[in-house]
Structure formats: C-alpha cells, structure tokens
Amino acid sequence: MLKLTKQLKADLRKLKKDDLVVCSDCGSENVTEKMWVDSNSFISIDGESYYKYMGEIDDNQYWCEDCYDMAHLVHISEYKGDKK
Ligand SMILES: [Zn+2]
C-alpha cells in the first residue's frame, strides 16, 4: 500500500512537471504560499500532511526555500521563456 502511494505520487509529479509555478528569481519549484485550509481535514501520507484547500489569501506573499527569501512566482513556461 505504501509502495503504491509512493508510485502514485511520483506519477502525479511527472504529470505536473510542465504545469508548475516556480520562483521568478531562481526557477526553484520549492516554493510556498499561504492559504486557508479546513482545520478538520488533516490526513498524513508518508509523513506529509494534507489539508483540504478552502481558499486563497490574496496578499501576494510567497516564499522560496532555495533563495530563502520572499519570492514572486511565475508559471514554469514563463520562467523558461524569460531565460531564452
Ligand atoms: Zn528562488
């Protein structure tokens, strides 16, 4: 069951790799944002926590773990387009 979950997550990640938002400075996909979640929807899979998404917080504050700073996010196609 655990193996199946890991495979599923890897497949999902592969599917999504052309549809990511990344840091506009360094291109990292290791970015976070604030959002509202259902406090009672917590589940844990493979040591990672998942909550049901309830809505966005429109403060345009994002964080890049690689720059270790506040960041602006762009779609990955936009980032690659800028670098050409
Ligand atoms: Zn960055």
**Domain of 56?**
17-82
pLDDT of residue 8: 79
Instruction: Give the three-class secondary structure for 23.
Output: strand
pLDDT of residue 2: 63
Inform me whether the pLDDT recorded for 60 exceeds 60: yes
- Note whether residue 3 is domain-resident: no
The domain tally of the chain equals 1
- At 28, the pLDDT band (50, 70, 90 cuts) reads very high
5 vs 18: CA distance, rounded Å: 21
Inform me whether the pLDDT recorded for 70 exceeds 90: yes
- Note whether residue 33 is domain-resident: yes
Ligand 1: centre distance to CA 15 (Å) = 23
Is the full-model pTM beyond 0.75? no
Ligand 1: centre distance to CA 65 (Å) = 7
Ligand 1: centre distance to CA 77 (Å) = 16
- Note whether residue 10 is domain-resident: no
H-helix or E-strand spanning residue 74: strand 73-75
Ligand 1: centre distance to CA 76 (Å) = 13
Span 64-80, average pLDDT: 94
pLDDT of residue 65: 97
Span 27-38, average pLDDT: 94
- Note whether residue 73 is domain-resident: yes
* Higher-confidence position of 84 and 69: 69
Cβ-based neighbour number of residue 70 at 10 Å: 10
